[in-house]
Chains A and B, each alone.
Chain A
């Protein structure tokens, strides 16, 4: 008798759970909640206050904020061109992570690369990248990588070669710094910029142990490769302009046997050509789009 009663109670409990889940699903379908709002919540904004509140569990909470930062960045990056609130929490999340765990090396380097990346790939905030890296230097003043990363942000994003060279020089004076930093700083000061320096810097980043850093560097290297090819194609167009009344196009160059076929970027996507000016660019559907804005003297 007791067994039967228990079975009935259990079955009723399962049924009640089933009803609750069904009702929840119906409600979610009928009254969808604005999930963007919940995504954007940062309950505690003060890193110092949060560190106090976590007692001895600051490292675990740093991991939680790190995962949140990754998810926030990845989610916004994949969501396509959305509201202006894109990547809004990236810096606060990384700031919280690195206050809770000041030795969280990868959080600083992640910030260096992605905070400074131009919209829509990132928030386009090199100032925040530099602020985060300066914080890293306070925690670990002898890691040459942070000085190098600040130099890189000044070089690649802010186009401030004097300051970039200064940071590369500082990196070179740190323990275990690689010997290529001093000549790099000198060449940056000496002859301004060339694409080779950019390629060299990205090649160094491509050697990182972190897969996402390597991926980011590999994409940048492909973009540089595409820029080389665009320079060549622009030169061809300049040298062999269309006849009067004719437009710039790939078939025209192919017919003249100047190109073997429609030129494609390193990802296999055909380049676009402006029929009026002949300027060649990477197609919007290419994984390499948007291309980095090159420094004036780079070209």
Chain B
């Protein structure tokens, strides 16, 4: 456990050294600028748009961090040959993979937390400045705590994307890993279509293949409840729990596969 923690803390420190927190400043500036601009451009939908933008930005910035840092987690160590020094220490390959993953998830957690706080500050400011008559027209309260449901699922989705990136990073080059991870991300959002493939094809084999792919590929569209929370529509605890559990199970499977592949790699 100590070994995992040490690797994780190092990944976190490295991400800070790599100026990853700069995106937080960008996020804050984007939100503040948009809150002003949107007020000039649109007809009284400022709060909805700020919520949409805040959630989408949390997702996009997190996605960039997941992919672009995730793909280099293992391959960078191999390229720089620092892997030799690392593995000569009392750190197993499984601990190395787990530590690298935990470090990036920690970076993501800090990012998502800061972005969430920034979003709520802007929303609180909107609530404070808008008169009650305008607030009465909002679909959901300005500082609606239900937004946290969407943020929670965004975080689980980012954990999953990080696991995909790390998985590819154990056996592929950074560029190929980035392309594959991004491909999985896109396919993951179309995944739900595969489930009902039998409605559009006659071939039973093709339908079974599509159904198989639906289960094997990550089902990322399930993590998107942004529209629902922004409009104050119900997202049940059961849905949150089952989707999060699915995400955690998928991450576990990917990390085990990554460990399996990484353990068999010969660095001689």
Could you tell me which A residues sit within 8 Å of B by CB distance? 52, 55-60, 62-63, 66-67, 70-71, 101-103, 105-106, 110, 208-212
**Chain A residues whose CB sits within 8 angstroms of the CB of B186 once the complex forms:** 55
Which residue from A55, A58, A70 sits with its C-beta under 8 Å from B227? A58
Within 8 A of A (CB), among B162-188: 185-186
B45 touches A106 (CB 8 A): yes
Which secondary structure dominates chain B's binding surface?
helix
Q: Quick check: which of B88-96, B114-122, B133-141, B244-252 contacts chain A, the rest being far away?
A: B133-141
Q: Do A211 and B44 contact each other (CB < 8 Å), given the known contacts A56-B189, A56-B221?
A: yes
**Chain B residues whose CB sits within 8 angstroms of the CB of A208 once the complex forms:** 137
Which residue from B38, B49, B56, B136 sits with its C-beta under 8 Å from A209? B136
* 19 CB < 8 A contacts A-B: A56-B56, A56-B226, A57-B60, A58-B227, A59-B55, A59-B56, A62-B52, A63-B42, A63-B53, A66-B45, A67-B42, A70-B41, A70-B42, A70-B43, A105-B139, A209-B134, A210-B137, A211-B44, A212-B44
Interface size of B in residues (CB-CB distance below 8 Å): 33
Q: Do A106 and B52 contact each other (CB < 8 Å), given the known contacts A52-B190, A55-B186, A209-B133?
A: no
> How many angstroms from the CA of A208 to the CA of B137 in the assembled complex?
8
**Chain B residues whose CB sits within 8 angstroms of the CB of A52 once the complex forms:** 190
**Chain A residues whose CB sits within 8 angstroms of the CB of B137 once the complex forms:** 208-210
**Chain A residues whose CB sits within 8 angstroms of the CB of B224 once the complex forms:** 56
Q: Kindly report which residue of chain B lies nearest to residue A71, judged by CB atoms.
A: B41
Render B216-227 as a binary contact track against A, CB cut-off 8 A, 1 for contact: 000011011011
Within 8 A of A (CB), among B2-44: 38, 41-44
Given contacts A56-B223, A102-B227, A110-B43, 4 further A-B contacts (CB under 8 A): A56-B221, A62-B52, A67-B42, A210-B43
Which residue from B41, B56, B136, B139 sits with its C-beta under 8 Å from A57? B56
**Chain B residues whose CB sits within 8 angstroms of the CB of A67 once the complex forms:** 38, 41-42, 49
Q: Kindly report which residue of chain B lies nearest to residue A100, judged by CB atoms.
A: B227
- Please tell me if B259 contacts chain A, counting CB pairs below 8 Å: no
Most B CB within 10 A of own CB, among A52, A58, A59, A105:
A59
Which secondary structure dominates chain A's binding surface?
helix
A103 touches B44 (CB 8 A): no
- Please tell me if B149 contacts chain A, counting CB pairs below 8 Å: no
> How many angstroms from the CA of A67 to the CA of B227 in the assembled complex?
17
Closest 7 CB pairs of A and B: A209-B137, A103-B231, A56-B224, A60-B56, A55-B189, A59-B52, A63-B49
**Chain B residues whose CB sits within 8 angstroms of the CB of A60 once the complex forms:** 52-53, 56
**Chain A residues whose CB sits within 8 angstroms of the CB of B60 once the complex forms:** 57
- Please tell me if B75 contacts chain A, counting CB pairs below 8 Å: no
Which residue from A55, A56, A63 sits with its C-beta under 8 Å from B45? A63
Instruction: Give chain B nearest CB distance to A63 CB in angstroms.
Output: 4
Q: Kindly report which residue of chain B lies nearest to residue A101, judged by CB atoms.
A: B227
Render B35-72 as a binary contact track against A, CB cut-off 8 A, 1 for contact: 00010011111001100110110011000000000000
Within 8 A of A (CB), among B207-248: 220-221, 223-224, 226-228, 230-231, 233
B136 touches A103 (CB 8 A): no
Q: Kindly report which residue of chain B lies nearest to residue A212, judged by CB atoms.
A: B43
Most B CB within 10 A of own CB, among A63, A101, A102, A106:
A63
> How many angstroms from the CA of A182 to the CA of B112 in the assembled complex?
50
Q: Kindly report which residue of chain B lies nearest to residue A58, judged by CB atoms.
A: B227
> How many angstroms from the CA of A56 to the CA of B186 in the assembled complex?
10
Instruction: Give chain A nearest CB distance to B112 CB in angstroms.
Output: 15
Q: Kindly report which residue of chain A lies nearest to residue B193, judged by CB atoms.
A: A52
B226 touches A59 (CB 8 A): yes
**Chain A residues whose CB sits within 8 angstroms of the CB of B48 once the complex forms:** 63
> How many angstroms from the CA of A207 to the CA of B43 in the assembled complex?
16
**Chain A residues whose CB sits within 8 angstroms of the CB of B56 once the complex forms:** 56-57, 59-60
A103 touches B233 (CB 8 A): yes
**Chain B residues whose CB sits within 8 angstroms of the CB of A57 once the complex forms:** 56, 59-60
**Chain B residues whose CB sits within 8 angstroms of the CB of A59 once the complex forms:** 52, 55-56, 226-227, 230
